[in-house]
Every structure is written in structure tokens, then in C-alpha cells.
Amino acid sequence: MIFFEKHFTEFLSDLEKNNNREWFLANKVRYEKFVKIPFEHFVQHLIYKFQEIDENLMITPGEAIFRIYRDVRFSKDKTPYKTHVSAIIANGGRKNFRDPGVYVEIKSNELNFYSGIYEMTKEQIYSTRTYIVSHLNEFNKLLADKNFKKYYRTIQGEQNKILPAEFKETAKVQPLIANKQFYYFSKLPQSKIFSKTLTDDLMKLYFAAQPMNNFLIKALK
């Protein structure tokens, strides 16, 4: 199924060059027709596909999709609009950065697919590190899984320079235990945005992330 026309990326590209209220209002019909509505249909379709695997996933596109309007109150960048569209597909939607789920972001020139955990409390970080110590072989096997390596390469995230004493020995053999975030992502070229196989390609990424996501879910319990 094809969700997006060339007008989709053309609008985002034009917005990058004209990120102001006057231009956006003059082109709002383009935004609604070629960006907002197609993206809502795309996210709804992904939700349905994910629900076939995860019956506990209960979310609507409205809960998942981020607004295109930027919050500029505390930012040096005062441009009013995001130049991408994005959504978090997980229970809690765009308000949930602390459970393994899926974050999809489409720019004018690429599509980014993220999974894992982006934002963690101190308690969650400690719990995850403790679980990795006691399940180190399993963690290393998941990192070495051929599909995980193919699509994500490794786990990303900021790290603590200083670790509690109980994690220092493990850090010598597995430096990722120092992470404060445990997320992974894959970039798809612009051509994939218009592909008939887009959903199939994203489902491959979804399945490749699930074993590591399940590990992190257990770690947080």
C-alpha cells in the first residue's frame, strides 16, 4: 500500500526553506491534504499491524502523533514549525518515552524508525543495569543477533562517565551498561517513503527490535 505522494516530501522540503507563520497559513491546505491526513492514515495502519502481534496495544493516531507546531518558549530556535512528522506507537503514545515502543519520524529526505527506551528514570536505569549484570550472556546474544545487527547495528544512548561500584566490572566487558538510554534506530532512504513495500519493510524492523524490547521490559519489572 502506498501512503504518500511526492507532494508529501515537497511540502516538508518547502517548509524547511519557509519556516514562518505567513507561509504556513498560505500553504495549510497543502499540509492538510498531502501531509497531515496521509500521515494519520499511515499511523493508523501501523497501529493495526502492531496490534496483530501485541493485543495489549491500545492507542489512536491522535494519541500517537506529535503536533507540527514547535514549543519555542525555552528554545533559541524560534522557527514555529517542525520540518518532519512523527509519532510514538506505544501505550501512552507521544507522552510515553519510558517504555519500549516505536517512534517513526519522516523528513523530506528520509524515514527514521526508532525502538527501545529513550527517556529513563534513575530507578529504571538502575533496574536495567542490574538485570543486564545477571543476564549478561542473554544481553550479548541479543546484541549479536543477525537481524538486530543488520537493521540497528547496536544500542545507542548517552552514558554515565562514573558508574556505581557494582557495575564497574561488567562495564569492562560490556560498556553499554553505562548507558542512560537504550534505544536503536534505522534510517530508510526517501525512496522507501513512496514504496509499496513500506509497511513490510517497517514490520521487519519491528520484529528485529522485539527480542531486545522484551529483554528491556523484563529489566524494568
- The residue extents of the domains of the chain are 6-220
- Please say if the pLDDT value at position 97 is more than 90: no
CB 184 within 8 Å of CB 152: yes
Rounded distance between C-alpha atoms, residue 133 and residue 123, angstroms: 16
Element (H, E) at 28: helix 28-30
Residue 22: pLDDT over 90: yes
- What local confidence, expressed as pLDDT, does residue 131 receive? 98
| Reported pTM | 0.93
Question: What pLDDT does 220 receive?
Answer: 92
User: In the predicted model, what is the mean pLDDT of residues 103-114?
Assistant: 97
DSSP label of 185: E
Q: What is the pLDDT of residue 137?
A: 98
Instruction: Kindly state the cell numbers that stand for 172.
Output: 569492562
Mean pLDDT of the chain: 95
Would you say residue 98 has pLDDT above 80? no
Residue type, 45: H
Per-residue pLDDT averaged across 170-183, rounded? 97
CB 158 within 8 A of CB 93: no
**How large is the average pLDDT for residues 166-175?**
97
pLDDT of 14 strictly over 90: yes
For domain 6-220, which architecture applies?
A: 2-Layer Sandwich (3.30)
Q: Does position 74 have pLDDT exceeding 90, yes or no?
A: no
